[in-house]
Amino acid sequence: MSARARKILVGVLLAAYFVWPLVHHQLVLRYRIDPWKLAGWAMYTTSAARIRISLLGVDESGRPVRVRPRSTPRLQTILSDYVYRRRTLGLFAPPDSVVREVADMHPDYAEWAVTVDEIGLNAENYFAVIHRSIYRYPNIDGAPGPAEISYPTPNPTRADRTR
């Protein structure tokens, strides 16, 4: 390798080294990926988030029915795998595998819904829901259809409630 090629290679590597933290920080902010993954420096900006999942079905009468996450060992395993994927990949990891399992358990529901809450430190430095994703899957011939995704604003913080 010539001296000029080495200089170019070192320049490209240094540029990538200095630009990657900015890219990683934006991935963490916008897509909720795990700040402790992908060799970024955003890990120093927050603690690792916790994930809480709520499963709901809507029966024939339109009444919401809570699905217990511990109802079967298989569902527990699928939920555990999903939580790991969600922590790592953030919004790039939809709960399709979880909904397929719930649909197999309850094929008569008109709709299945998965709420994913990310719990972490908020601006007032206490743990609260900092991001919420709601995935609604309609029942199409006994199988989940395409998801309708919403990102509602989490509940107000303690400081907001006192104002």
What tens digit of pLDDT does each residue of 110-148 get?
999 999 999 887 777 778 888 899 999 999 988 999 999
Task: Give the integer Cα–Cα distance in Å for 92 and 101.
Answer: 20
Q: Provide the pLDDT for residue 42.
A: 67
User: How buried is 30 (Cβ within 10 angstroms: 0-12 exposed, 13-18 middle, 19+ buried)?
Assistant: exposed
Residue whose tokens read 């029966």: 59
Q: Provide the pLDDT for residue 24.
A: 86
Task: Give the integer Cα–Cα distance in Å for 54 and 116.
Answer: 7
Residue whose tokens read 């743990």: 127
Q: For residue 133, what is the DSSP state?
A: E
Q: What's phi and psi for 56, nearest 5 deg?
A: -130, 150
Helix, strand, coil abundance in the chain, percent, nearest 5: 40, 25, 35
Q: For residue 110, what is the DSSP state?
A: S
Q: Provide the pLDDT for residue 160.
A: 42
pTM, full prediction: 0.79
Query: What mean pLDDT comes out for the span 49-56?
Result: 91
